[in-house]
Structure 1
Amino acid sequence: MSISENITNLKKELPNHVCLVAVSKTKPIPNIMEAYNAGHRIFGENKIQEMVDKWEQMPKDIEWHMIGHVQTNKVKYMAEFVSLIHAVDSVKLLKEINKQAKKHERVIDCLLQIKIAKEDSKFGMTEADALALLNNASVKEFENVNIVGLMGMATFTENEAQLVSEFSRLKNFFDTHKTAFSFKTLSMGMSGDYKIAIAQGSTMIRVGSSIFGERYQ
């Protein structure tokens, strides 16, 4: 099927409360424009320079999400336009996002990445570290960032019970603290596991290969 058919069919099966981020990393602009022309406006990238290049060349009503690990020295390049940063994992990074957002007179929405996977390759904070960040007095004074929720990446496995366990643990943490910290977004689930993630309470999924086909470099 074509990209436009893939994205249309995927949206039809999603509950109304679930937001779809089309993961366009490594994909050429014509492919992304096919999804755009099918009505989609939210795209996710994992390399800031690639996202900047696409933002400069593509329609300005696109909502760009940074879904990959972020280095503090790169924040300045996306602060002008990024809509949501999914993978905030330190006070240091949040401080830099706040600083760069202020230069552009913006408030940038952010998600805290919680480590739920067993794999060492996955980034993220512990639940305890996340609570410490959220209760940090200096963080509460940041006026140009808005922590709107949490993000997690599950283990790359076909063990459904393990995925359910990882996603449900993050959902429980989200539910426990959503009122105190005004959480509204829970980003979990990708092409291979988004159905399980949605069943466990995800409100935002990050899907690439099911839309654009298998990834290539």
Structure 2
Amino acid sequence: MIPTFETFVSRAETVLAEIATACREAGRDPAEVELLAVTKTHDAWAPAYAARFGLRGVGENRVQEAIDKMPHVELPADVTPPRWELIGHLQSNKAKLAATHFDRVQSVDSPKLLQRLDRAAGELDRSLAVLLQINAGRDPAKFGAELEDAPALLETALNCTHLRVDGLMTIAPLSDDPAVAERTFANLRQLRDDLAAQFSVALPTLSMGMSGDLVPAIAAGSTQVRVGTALFGQR
């Protein structure tokens, strides 16, 4: 069932209030943390709602699902279209599609994928923003480069002339122990700080935290939390 826009607004305001509270508790400015609306599995109404509310970006897991959805997002003339971010695992054979249709790819976890995206962006004569996905929780069920492989991955990325590395992304392991998420997010923050110093580059974006663990993510320095169900409900 599709919620009304008013219902979405209420949900979004609740999530933003939670973000603001977490920021205050961490001594941070809520303006430092972006809410990315995860619109995967929902039809075109979901990114339309997000854009109408004023959220800057939407996240999708699957390349083809997003491509099919994009032309059907209907917005008033005075509403800025959303920025499309790919947050799901990307197979290298779909790199060109991703580079063509997305504004940023968050799930870059291998040199091969970097090189495919760089080549595709070059053919499109564009600069493509990326995040390096790191398995900061060392979860065998999750995609992402291992922590110790991150320096080499970043070095490869910085040599890709058509890519812009905005920062890092991670997904915490599923666990009933809150310390697991806390440790995962602390690992990513420390890694970002180490890489920024080692390579003398700014890596401003830390995409970490979802509905269930955004509080520890914000405490650890997240600049973008990815929320779906709390905004849109179950499909």
Counterparts of 1:171 and 1:105, CA distance in 2: 32
Counterparts of 2:196 and 2:224, CA distance in 1: 15
- Say yes or no: does 1:117 pair with 2:137: yes
| SS of residue matched to 1:70 | coil
Counterparts of 1:30 and 1:61, CA distance in 2: 13
Residue in 2 that maps onto 1:94:
114
Counterparts of 1:83 and 1:201, CA distance in 2: 23
On the 8 A contact 2:96/2:120 being kept in 1, the answer is: yes
Counterparts of 1:118 and 1:135, CA distance in 2: 21
| SS of residue matched to 1:44 | strand
Counterparts of 2:109 and 2:138, CA distance in 1: 17
Q: 1:141 to 1:200 in 2, by over 3 A?
A: closer
The 5 A counterparts of 1:154-173 are 154-173=172-191
Q: Give the aligned CA root-mean-square deviation in angstroms.
A: 1.8
Counterparts of 2:155 and 2:59, CA distance in 1: 29
On the 8 A contact 1:8/1:38 being kept in 2, the answer is: no
Partner residue of 1:9 out of 14, 23, 42: 14
Counterparts of 2:95 and 2:133, CA distance in 1: 16
Counterparts of 1:41 and 1:194, CA distance in 2: 18
- Say yes or no: does 1:188 pair with 2:208: yes
Counterparts of 1:48 and 1:175, CA distance in 2: 31
Structure 1 unaligned residues grouped into runs of 5+: none
| SS of residue matched to 1:79 | helix
| SS of residue matched to 2:59 | strand
On the 8 A contact 2:99/2:117 being kept in 1, the answer is: yes
On the 8 A contact 1:187/1:204 being kept in 2, the answer is: yes
| SS of residue matched to 1:2 | helix
| SS of residue matched to 2:130 | strand
The 5 A counterparts of 1:113-152 are 113-136=133-156, 139-152=157-170
1:118 CA displacement:
4.6
1:34 CA displacement:
2.4
On the 8 A contact 1:178/1:184 being kept in 2, the answer is: no
1:3-27, Cα deviation, whole Å (9 max, x unpaired): 1211133234431101111000001
Counterparts of 1:72 and 1:51, CA distance in 2: 17
TM-score normalised by length of structure 1: 0.91
1:143-166, Cα deviation, whole Å (9 max, x unpaired): 110111111110112311221111
The residue type equivalent to 1:21 in the other structure is: L
Q: 1:186 to 1:30 in 2, by over 3 A?
A: same
Counterparts of 1:13 and 1:191, CA distance in 2: 10
TM-score normalised by length of structure 2: 0.84
The residue type equivalent to 2:196 in the other structure is: K
Residue in 2 that maps onto 1:79:
99
The residue type equivalent to 2:195 in the other structure is: H
| SS of residue matched to 1:65 | strand
The percent identity for this pair of structures is 35
1:70 CA displacement:
0.3
- Say yes or no: does 1:54 pair with 2:72: no
The residue type equivalent to 1:4 in the other structure is: V
Residue in 2 that maps onto 1:208:
228
On the 8 A contact 2:108/2:114 being kept in 1, the answer is: yes
Structure 2 unaligned residues grouped into runs of 5+: 1-5, 20-29
The residue type equivalent to 2:62 in the other structure is: K
On the 8 A contact 1:3/1:31 being kept in 2, the answer is: no
